[in-house]
């Protein structure tokens, strides 16, 4: 029996059970064996607390995935949990609208520069799709320029050649993907197509070039397209008002989710009243849009963001972790192999593409060895307020032991032979 099948025996057994009734064995591709290879990393967990997660085999990890960046405060925050528990006996879904909808909407308006009005959804794809519907309804145009990852719905995922199965060609033809930091490509797309919206992630691992976001803002205005910032991850993480607050560029519409409620399922489309009023005619509705447990959690989180320095504290923790890991990378002599790039709260581990054919196995080997040392990580440091010095010590120790193994594998050209399980086809990355 391989090391992987021993360490993750319960995960592997659960995968077999789950795949009998659930495609991929999970509801989320980024939590599946296409991202976390079976036998290399855990696949199923039983509980979380603070910044830690326990898998079904009982292994404990410092969590750097952080619920796919949905957890910005920490797991099981006492104030959030108490408020949600108090709401449960009062109702979760009601036949009439609860006043908390307006209370949470007002908090977002108070925090986010582009927000004059707010509508809620449950997923990021809900919100981004609503934003595109608003833009199309307001402009009377069909085409969309996209820059980044924006969810699973047809209007966007048709731009992905590896994930567009089931998307009608006529629908896919209405979206046009352009690279980040390339104003010329952006303007070429706008010239070529009557565009309803430019929708973009404000930043991932690459920082906006000086004047880039301002240039996008100007192009949207010039060509009569609405500018939409997809702030699913950057929102309530980069700054109190999101990346638009951090960079000082205000879009027409924005979308939020994830950290808005510290992992409770809620999203929002926000924007200027002139555009948001389209939603009085354009159809965007859902039974669970006003679900009260998620709104309750959001109220607690947003009040904390508004009234404390929690977002600045998360950034400071991210800066400290980046500094410490960079020192480990330098000490290991791995600076030509990996580097850290991005915002301190959402830092990407970037690999040297010159590593060639061995690169895929090296990434899996890195994940395998970090997991063995108690760190759950895919490719980013998704920092939360609950990450503490002890957690950072564990992370840095794991890097210090893992990087020499990676360097040895590069020198011996045997990364694949070092894997504890045979890895099948992995899914394409969205970023």
- The pTM score is 0.95
- For residue range 10-54, what is the model confidence (pLDDT) as tens digits? 999 999 999 999 999 999 999 999 999 999 999 999 999 999 999
- Domain with 25, as residue range(s), is 7-73+308-416
Q: Report, as an integer, the average pLDDT of 229-233.
A: 98
- Give whole-number Cα distances, 30 to 27, 58, 242, 390, 430, in Å: 9, 21, 24, 27, 9
Average pLDDT over residues 254-270: 97
**181 phi-psi bin (left φ>0, alpha ψ -120 to 50, beta other):** left
CA–CA separation, 12 and 5 (whole Å): 7
Specify the DSSP element, H or E, that contains 87: helix 78-87
- Is residue 262 within 8 A of residue 71, CB to CB? The reply is yes
Report pLDDT for 426.
78
Report pLDDT digits (tens) over 101-112. Answer: 999 999 999 999
Query: Residue 220 region, left (φ>0) first, then alpha (ψ -120 to 50), else beta?
Result: alpha
Q: What is the CATH number of the domain that holds 172?
A: 3.40.640.10
Same domain for 188 and 136: yes
Model confidence at 282: pLDDT above 80: yes
Are 203 and 271 part of one and the same domain?
yes
Q: What is the pLDDT of residues 174-220, one digit of tens each?
A: 999 999 999 999 999 999 999 999 999 999 999 999 999 999 999 99
* Phi and psi, residue 428, nearest 5°: -65, 145
- Taking the C-alpha atoms of residue 412 and residue 269, their distance in angstroms, rounded to an integer, is 51
Q: For residue 290, how far is the Cα from the chain centroid?
A: 23
Which two structure tokens, joined as six digits, stand for 347? 């830092």
Evaluate whether 227 touches 251 at the Cβ level (below 8 Å). yes
CATH code for the domain in which residue 345 is found: 3.90.1150.10
Region 415-428 average pLDDT: 87
For residue 2, the model assigns a pLDDT of: 64
CA angle 282, 112, 238 (to 5 degrees): 120
Whole-number Å distance between alpha carbons of 297 and 260: 9
Q: Are 122 and 266 in contact (CB under 8 A)?
A: yes
Contacts of the segment 23-28: beta carbons below 8 A, 24+ positions apart: 28/68
Q: What integer pLDDT is reported at residue 1 of this predicted model?
A: 42
Instruction: Tell whether 119 and 39 lie within a shared domain.
Output: no
Query: 110-159: per-residue pLDDT in tens?
Result: 999 999 999 999 999 999 999 999 999 999 999 999 999 999 999 999 99
Q: In angstroms, how far is CA 45 from the centroid of its own chain?
A: 19
* DSSP letters for 276-321: HGGGGTS----TTTT-HHHHHHHHHHHHHHHHSSHHHHHHHHHHHH
**pLDDT (0 to 100) of residue 431:** 66
Q: What is the pLDDT of residues 302-339, one digit of tens each?
A: 999 999 999 999 999 999 999 999 999 999 999 999 99
Q: Return the percentage of the chain with pLDDT > 70, whole number.
A: 98
Tokens of 382: 């998704």
pLDDT of residue 428: 67
Mark whether 62 and 142 lie in a shared domain: no
Whether 33 maps to a domain, the answer reads yes
Whether residue 424 lies inside any domain: the answer is no
316 and 231, same structural domain?
no
What Cα–Cα distance (Å) separates residue 285 from each residue in 18, 70, 152, 296, 370? 31, 23, 18, 20, 43
> What does the mean pLDDT of the chain come to?
96
Residue 71 to residue 48: CA distance in whole angstroms: 11
Q: How many folded domains does the chain comprise?
A: 2
Query: Which residues 6+ apart lie within 8 Å of 374 measured at CB?
Result: 59, 60, 61, 62, 394, 398
- In this structure, the answer to whether residues 165 and 241 fall within a common structural domain is yes
Whether residue 268 is found in the same domain as residue 150: yes
Report whether 314 contacts 384 (CB < 8 A). yes
Among residues 181, 163, 99, 95, the alpha carbon closest in space to that of 125 is found at 163
Task: Point out the domain boundary residue: 259, 289, 319.
Answer: 289
> CA 374, CA 371: separation in Å to the nearest integer?
5
Distance CA(140)–CA(340), nearest Å, equals: 43
* Domain closes at, from 289, 324, 344: 289
Residue 430: its pLDDT value, please?
Answer: 65
213 and 322 inside one domain? no
- Packing angle, helices 359-372 and 389-412, rounded to 10: 140
pLDDT of residue 420: 96
Same domain, 272 and 188: yes
> At a CB cut-off of 8 Å and minimum separation 6, what does 176 contact?
143, 144, 145, 146, 159, 189, 192, 193
Please give the Cα distance from 170 to 190 (Å, whole number): 19
List, in order, residues 6 or more apart from 215 with CB less than 8 Å away: 183, 186
Tally of CB atoms within 10 A around 287: 8
CB of 260 within 8 A of CB of 234? no
| pLDDT for the residue 424 | 80
Q: Is residue 345 part of a domain?
A: yes
What's the confidence (pLDDT) of residue 425? 75
Same domain, 138 and 237: yes
- Using DSSP's 3-state secondary structure scheme, residue 373 falls into coil
**Which helix or strand (DSSP H or E) is residue 404 part of?**
helix 389-412
Return the number of other C-beta atoms located less than 10 Å from residue 203's C-beta: 23
Please state the φ and ψ torsions of residue 67, each to the nearest 5 degrees.
60, 40
Query: What does the alpha-carbon distance between residue 265 and residue 280 come to, in Å, rounded to a whole number?
Result: 24
Cα 282 from chain centroid?
27
Same domain, 135 and 201: yes
Alpha-carbon distance of 420 to 2, in angstroms, equals 6
């Amino acid at each position: 029996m391989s090391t992987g099948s021993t360490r993750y025996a319960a995960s592997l057994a659960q995968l077999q059970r789950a795949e009998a009734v659930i495609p991929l064995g999970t509801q989320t591709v980024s939590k599946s064996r296409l991202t976390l290879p079976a036998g290399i990393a855990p696949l199923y967990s039983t509980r979380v607390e603070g910044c830690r997660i326990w898998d079904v085999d009982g292994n404990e990890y410092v969590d750097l995935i952080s619920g796919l960046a949905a957890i910005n405060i920490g797991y099981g925050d006492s104030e959030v949990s108490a408020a949600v528990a108090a709401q449960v006996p009062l109702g979760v879904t009601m036949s009439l609208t609860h006043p908390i909808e307006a209370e949470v909407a007002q908090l977002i308006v108070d925090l986010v520069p582009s927000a004059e009005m707010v509508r809620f959804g449950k997923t990021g794809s809900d919100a981004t799709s609503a934003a595109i519907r608003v833009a199309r309804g307001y402009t009377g145009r069909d085409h969309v320029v996209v820059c980044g990852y924006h969810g699973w719905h047809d209007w966007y995922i048709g731009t992905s050649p590896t994930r567009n199965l089931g998307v009608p060609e006529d629908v896919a033809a209405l979206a046009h993907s352009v690279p980040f930091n390339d104003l010329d490509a952006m303007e070429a797309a706008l010239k070529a197509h009557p565009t309803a919206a430019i929708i973009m992630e404000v930043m991932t691992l690459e920082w906006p070039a000086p004047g880039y976001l301002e240039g996008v803002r100007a192009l949207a205005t010039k060509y009569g397209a609405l500018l939409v910032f997809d702030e699913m991850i950057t929102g309530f993480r980069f700054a109190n008002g999101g990346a638009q607050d951090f960079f000082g560029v205000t879009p027409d519409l924005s979308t939020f989710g994830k950290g808005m409620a510290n992992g409770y399922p809620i999203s929002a489309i926000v924007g200027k009243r002139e555009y948001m009023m389209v939603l009085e005619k354009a159809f965007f509705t859902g039974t669970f849009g006003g679900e009260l447990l998620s709104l309750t959690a959001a109220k607690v989180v947003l009040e904390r963001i508004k009234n404390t320095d929690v977002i600045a504290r998360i950034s400071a923790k991210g800066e400290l972790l980046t500094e410490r890991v960079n020192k480990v990378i330098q000490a290991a002599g791995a600076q030509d192999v990996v580097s850290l790039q991005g915002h301190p709260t959402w830092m990407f581990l970037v690999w040297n593409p010159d590593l060639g054919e061995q690169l895929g196995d090296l990434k899996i080997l890195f994940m395998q060895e970090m997991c063995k040392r108690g760190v759950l990580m895919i490719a980013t440091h998704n920092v939360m307020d609950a990450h503490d010095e002890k957690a950072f010590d564990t992370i840095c120790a794991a890097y210090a032991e893992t990087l020499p193994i990676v360097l040895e594998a590069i020198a011996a050209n045997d990364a694949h032979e070092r894997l504890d399980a045979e890895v099948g086809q992995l899914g394409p990355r969205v970023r």
